[in-house]
Homo-oligomer: A and B are copies of this chain.
Amino acid sequence: MSMTNETGMKRPFTDGQDLLPGLSIDPVIFGFHEGQLKILLLRFRGMDAFALPGGFVHLSEDVDEAAARVLYERTGLREIYLDQFYTFGKRDRRDAGTQQTLLQGNGVELPNTHWLLQRFVSIGYYALIDFTKANPTPDPLSDSCGWHDLATLPPLIFDHTAMVYKALETLRKNLDDKLIGFALLPETFTMTDLQQLYETILGKPLQRTNFQRKILSLGILERLEKKMSGGAHKAPYLYRFISPATP
């Protein structure tokens, strides 16, 4: 979980009455750009470490809705692939020192009994978005919200690093049978784009010809016109993902 909330700077800390107590959500928001898997991270004012762009759950919303709302608040995107992957409930997952630093950085001092300083359990979600469409937006406690290469992750607060790797593990497991990779690409893409994405997620090279055969055999791609001006060579086809449910 993070110190993120959605109330704006004038009321950085509500009394928490309209929130589920002790519960947060932490979305791992994946993007893909220039051959690299990336995730969205916040940096809180006055802190070195980064954090997942978390949030809390209103009494009036489902937990899933809260996750979608936070995703929208940080990216401006709705109707995104978003799925729960794990719930983090270690007793001491949030160390007091980090919490203090975080509050001080924002010039806030809270009594130990404040709801924000109690024990929190956090529900991890992962989202797959089209990198080019996202509009990363910091939250009230942060001075930045931006993309970071998964390959060179900076230090994260609390157990957020473990969250990221657990999310990646889930993404890898679901890549083939849920066919979710396409959510990370623009509407149309070449077979090479798709292969690069798969190679990056799986962390291993794939054989071009066999990858093409395999993907095409799934019958989930519509072949469009060719993509010209890609270089001094044969032009590749563009493809569009078609849901297996809509044949």
Contact = CB atoms under 8 A, between A and B. Distances in A.
Contact of A23 (B22, B61, B62, B90): B22
Of A61, A87, A90, the most chain B CB neighbours within 10 A belong to A87
A91 interface: yes
Contact of A91 (B22, B61, B87): B61
Shortest beta-carbon contacts, A-B, top 9: A63-B89, A87-B87, A21-B21, A62-B90, A62-B91, A87-B123, A20-B22, A21-B22, A62-B89
Copies per assembly: 2
A87 B23 CA distance: 12
Contacts of A191: none
Nearest to A90: B62
Given A84-B86, A86-B84, A23 B121 contact: yes
Nearest to A58: B91
Interface in A1-50: 20-23
A20 B24 CA distance: 13
Contacts of A206: none
Interface of A: 20-23, 57, 59-64, 84, 86-87, 89-91, 119, 121, 123
Contacts of A60: 91
Contacts of A64: 89-90
B20 A119 contact: yes
Given A21-B21, A63-B90, A121-B123, 17 more contacts: A21-B22, A23-B121, A57-B89, A57-B121, A59-B91, A59-B119, A60-B91, A61-B91, A62-B89, A63-B89, A63-B121, A64-B89, A84-B86, A84-B87, A87-B87, A87-B123, A89-B123
A85 to B, nearest CB: 10
Contacts of A91: 59-62
A20 B62 contact: no
A59 B119 CA distance: 8
Given A22-B20, A121-B20, A87 B59 contact: no
Contacts of A62: 89-91
